[in-house]
Amino acid sequence: MYKSFESLERAIGHAAKEKKLVGAFNRYKVLKNWEKAASGFILEAKDLTRAMDLKNGVLLVACLDREIAYQIKLLAARIIFVLNQLVGKQVVFAIQVEA
């Protein structure tokens, strides 16, 4: 038919793939920058915590010490702000800590 137009199925497929890749890339950036953001507030965070996953804006963090987990909960808003600054967009909305 017209060469300049793309089929609807193809356009939707490209948009879905692009959205998945963008989400995966944002997840990667958040997980990579967790140590930098958290250790700015809690010195032991680098050794005793690890960002495990990011789903629907909630960052799942594993923690080996209950005191550090409590500090992360208290400082969550500040850590989230720094993480979003490092990523460059609003990606993280909450932090869930598992001690």
| Structure confidence by residue, pLDDT tens digits, 57-90 | 999 999 999 999 999 999 999 999 999 999 999 9
Distance between CA atoms of residues 96 and 63, nearest Å: 10
Residue 61 lies in a domain: yes
Type of residue numbered 85: Q
Distance of CA 39 to the CA centre of its chain: 16
CATH number for the domain including 52? Answer: 3.30.300
Residue 2 lies in a domain: no
Residue 60 lies in a domain: yes
* pTM score above 0.85: no
Q: Which two tokens stand for residue 35?
A: 């140590």
Q: Give the residue-averaged pLDDT of 84-97.
A: 96
Residue 88 lies in a domain: yes
What pLDDT score does 22 carry?
82
pLDDT confidence band for 99 (50 / 70 / 90) = confident
pLDDT digits (tens, 9 = 90+) for 1-42: 555 666 656 666 677 667 778 888 889 999 999 999 999 999
Type of residue numbered 99: A
The total number of structural domains that make up the chain = 1
Burial class (CB in 10 A: 0-12, 13-18, 19+), 34: buried
Q: Which domain holds residue 52?
A: 8-98
Residue 71 lies in a domain: yes
What pLDDT score does 23 carry?
85
- Tell me the chain's radius of gyration from C-alpha atoms: 18
